[in-house]
Chains A and B, each alone.
Chain A
Amino acid sequence: MTDFIDECRREWRRLGVPDTLAEEMAADLASDLAEAEGDGVSTEELLGSDPRSFAASLAAERGVIPVSPSPRRARRRPAVLVAFTALAALVLAFAARALLTGQPRATLVTHLSGKPGHHLPAASPFPFAPSGSVQRVFDLGNLSAPIEWILLVFAIVALGFAAWLWVTWSRSRPPGVPAA
């Protein structure tokens, strides 16, 4: 009996249930268990065999902690986390490789259209472009570096966020759900 209630106390402490409320629930259970034992009813018959699940369920139903996700949903969450983490790692690897080797380099290409017979003015900011054509394409490859840096920063931030999600999930994992 004492072991069951002690285990409940530990679970409530882990879940952040206020001490006064945890002690109140523990005292109520202890009184009921003592009377049940006198009637020949075992702890398992009255409260079940899984103190952690029982304690979490009781706290959730009383509104002391958020209701735990179903075990099925809890098992699904790591798959989403794994996919997110893998994507962030992939983007990081791509950006790092592009910055280190210069290949492949993303290019920023600008398409300009003009009316037939229209000529760019002599003082065009793109003097290397042929004038007078219907469509001109200017390859501004040197401007691609910032995109790779942006990807790199984005990937690092995403990986940090993924790490935080992993920590949060592992702390809130309901009893019986194995760590991924």
Chain B
Amino acid sequence: MLDLCLLAVMNEGPAYGYEMTKRLRERGLAIVGEGSIYPLLGRLERDGLVETYRAPSNGGPERKYYRPSDAGRLALAMGVSEWRAARDAVDAVLASVKVEVLHD
């Protein structure tokens, strides 16, 4: 699922590794970090789902930027569709749940 989130944030605009971490954290995905995204970015690159290029970042050092390839955008579209279907199905099950919690 994190790979889908990475494709989503880089689809908003090319980003380097730490920039993607910040974008995800800004949206409340606090689990990102502890080295989790870098191997995933490597896998996406190996699978041809992202394209990379190097460019200076705001006058800083040269960074490696990632953006979805055509295959990556297709994977993103399919992944989002599957996620929404799964989320709706789970919502349908949980919607009718009524829980009473008894306190002593």
A: which residues have CB within 8 A of B?
27-29, 31-32, 35-36, 39, 41, 44-49, 54, 57-63
Contacts and interface: CB of A to CB of B under 8 A. Distances in A.
A57 B63 contact: no
Given A31-B63, A35-B18, A46 B40 contact: no
Interface string B56-85: 010011111000000000000000000000
Contacts of A29: 17, 38
Nearest to A30: B61
22 contacts: A27-B61, A28-B16, A29-B17, A31-B61, A31-B62, A31-B63, A32-B17, A32-B18, A39-B22, A44-B34, A46-B18, A46-B21, A46-B34, A47-B34, A47-B38, A48-B34, A59-B42, A61-B39, A61-B40, A61-B46, A62-B46, A63-B46
A2 to B, nearest CB: 15
Contacts of A45: 33-34
A35 B39 CA distance: 19
Interface of B: 16-18, 21-22, 33-36, 38-40, 42-43, 45-46, 57, 60-64
Contact of B18 (A36, A44, A54, A61): A36
Contacts of A62: 39, 42-43, 45-46
A58 B38 contact: yes
Given A47-B34, A54-B38, A28 B46 contact: no
Nearest to A63: B46
Given A44-B34, A59-B42, 16 more contacts: A29-B17, A31-B16, A31-B61, A36-B18, A41-B33, A45-B33, A45-B34, A46-B34, A47-B34, A47-B35, A54-B38, A58-B35, A60-B39, A61-B40, A61-B43, A63-B46
Nearest to A24: B64
B39 A57 contact: yes
Contacts of B21: 36, 46
A60 to B, nearest CB: 8
